[in-house]
Each structure stands twice: as structure tokens, then as C-alpha cells.
Amino acid sequence: MRKNIVAGNWKMNKNLQEGLELATELNEALKGKTVNCDVIIGTPFIHLASVAKAVDLNKIGVAAQNCADKESGAYTGEVSAAMVASTGAQYVILGHSERRAYYGETAETLKEKVKLALANGLTPIFCIGEVLEEREAEKHFDVVKSQVEASLFDLSADDFSKVVLAYEPVWAIGTGKTASPAQAQEMHAFIRATLAEKYGQDIANNTSILYGGSANAGNAKELFSNPDVDGGLIGGASLGVDKFMPIIEAF
Ligand code: PGA
């Protein structure tokens, strides 16, 4: 059965020392505690190796926030999936709306990134979600379906079953405007039905679909109580243990 997951996305926050402090603090907070979800932190690239050493990787998974769409070679400034994996990180967030919007990531480049992540043993946390105008025009289901189809539906069933999805309506990210639990459930159920059509009900039922966008300690419980919401991808509220722990404990 699918896992419940609470994943932090630190984005471009915290220098190395601050990041290590936060990771260590979270590690301490989780020590000796049983929680009902997998916990992941998505850190900047340069933090990965140090953070992976500082935490108990059985209790906290470590994620990059991106990886290159090429295997290796003359791509100045890029970081490959193999490099990410070599730090001890086990996950990579791919297709975040900020990367799509500000760094021109396309369905095609994301398809390559997903393949390389999987080939290097990383679990992709693949982000999808509509912008406000698309929701207002009632195109949100079509948009999300085509994002999934365009970057993931080339995968074999075996490969697809290793992917985690994160539905993040762009209008809810960092805005304090969360999707209502009903809006989240409606979209998550739609995504799961889309997966079932392509890969069958078993794989669809086993795929974790996280919600992201202004999720916090106050709304996590209600969001996570929906049958098709399997956890959260948490930005702002993952930057302090005091804010992140209650979200983990919402399960
Ligand atoms: P937020 O970000 O929780 O700050 O809205 C979520 C995300 O972008 O992953």
C-alpha cells in the first residue's frame, strides 16, 4: 500500500551551517519517536552530502530539488542525478512550478530528468499543478493530466511505480492560500484515476500523491485526512522544526 510522506522543500533558503543545524534539530526531534509517515527534507545541492551524514537516513530521507537532464559532461553549473545519488540522497524533487516558470523547464527536459533520476536509483518527487488562470478557466484537470502524461507516461509500469507525485496548485504556493481539503481531494482522486487508466488500479493505489501549497500545522490534519491525499510537500513551514514537526505528527 502507498506510503504517507511529509517532505520539506527548503528551496533557496539556509546556508550550509544553518541547514545542518535544522537537519540535526529535526533528527533529534524524531529520535525515539514513532511517526506514521516517511519524512524527507529537500535541501540545496551543496547541503546534501553533509545533511545525509548528519541525519539517520532510516528516519529522514534526503532530497535534491533538481538534477540535470544530461548524464555527464560539458554542462557547466549542472548537477547530475548520479552526483546527487553519490551524496547519500535518495530522492529528487523534479518539475517544481518555480523551476518550470523561472528556469524554463519543459515536459521534455523533465522526462529526461525523471529517467536519469530513476536510472541512478533516486525516487523522483514529481510536481504538477495549474496556475490560477487555468483553474478559473476550469482547465485545471486537463493541465494536470497533460503534465503527468507528457513527462511520466513513457515510463514502464515498473519505473512508474517508483515515482511519488506532488500536486501543487501554483496559486497556493507561498501565498498562504491553501487549496481546500475538498479541492485537494477532488484533484488527487482525478490524478489517481488518470494513473489507473494508464498503469492499472494496483499501481495507482500504490502511488503516493502529496499535496503542496501553503500547507502548515494548522491545515495539515484536515488535508491529510482525505483518502487520496498521502502527505505534503512543504515549503515555508519546513524551515523550522517547530513548524515542521506538527505537520509530520498530523498523521
Ligand atoms: P509552500 O511551498 O509550502 O511555501 O507554499 C510548497 C512548495 O512549493 O513545495
Report d(CA 97, CA 197) in Å as an integer: 25
Per-residue pLDDT band for 128 (boundaries 50, 70, 90) equals very high
- Report which protein residue has its CA nearest ligand 1's atom 2: 235
Name the residue with higher pLDDT: 212 or 32. 212
What confidence category does residue 122 fall into, taking pLDDT thresholds of 50, 70 and 90? very high
Q: What is the mean pLDDT of residues 143-149?
A: 98
Q: What pLDDT, on the 0 to 100 scale, is given for residue 74? A: 98
Model confidence, pTM: 0.98
Residues 183 and 91: their CA atoms lie apart, in Å, by 27
168 is catalytic: yes
Give the model's pLDDT for residue 111.
Answer: 98
Contacts of 233 by beta carbon, 8 Å cutoff, 6+ apart = 7, 9, 93, 125, 127, 166, 168, 210, 211, 212, 215
> In terms of residue numbers, what domain contains 164?
5-248
What's the CATH code of the domain at 138? 3.20.20.70
Domain total in the chain:
1
Burial of residue 210 (CB within 10 Å: 0-12, 13-18, 19+) is: buried
pLDDT of residue 1: 85
Q: Which residues pair with 35 in a beta bridge?
A: none
**Can you tell me the mean pLDDT for 140-148?**
98
Cα distances from 245 to residues 37, 124, 220, 239, 248, in angstroms, run 11, 23, 11, 11, 5
pLDDT of residue 150: 98
Is any ligand 1 atom within 6 A of the Cβ of residue 61? no
Whether residue 177 is predicted with pLDDT greater than 90 in this model: the reply is no
Residues 220-229: pLDDT tens digits? 999 999 999 9
11, 97, 126, 234: residue to mutate for ligand 1 pocket, most atoms within 8 A of CB: 234
Mean pLDDT, the chain, rounded, equals: 97
Please count the other Cβ atoms lying within 10 Å of the Cβ belonging to residue 178.
21
With a 6 A CB cut-off, is 212 part of the ligand 1 pocket?
yes
Tell which one of 41, 91, 214, 244 to mutate to probe ligand 1, the residue whose CB is within 8 A of the most ligand atoms: 214
| CA of residue 96 to ligand 1 center, whole Å | 10
Q: Where are the alpha helices (DSSP H) in 9-47?
A: 16-30
Asked if pLDDT for residue 165 goes beyond 90, the answer is yes
CA dihedral 83, 87, 91, 93 (to 10 degrees): -60
Q: Is the CB of 63 under 6 A from ligand 1?
A: no
Residue 134: pLDDT band (50, 70, 90) is very high
Residue 66 confidence (pLDDT) above 90: yes
Cα angle 90, 95, 96; round to 5: 95
**Whole-angstrom distance, CA of residue 37 vs CA of residue 61:** 11
What pLDDT does 13 receive? 98
Q: Please tell me the distance from the alpha carbon of residue 93 to that of residue 9, in angstroms, as a whole number.
A: 8
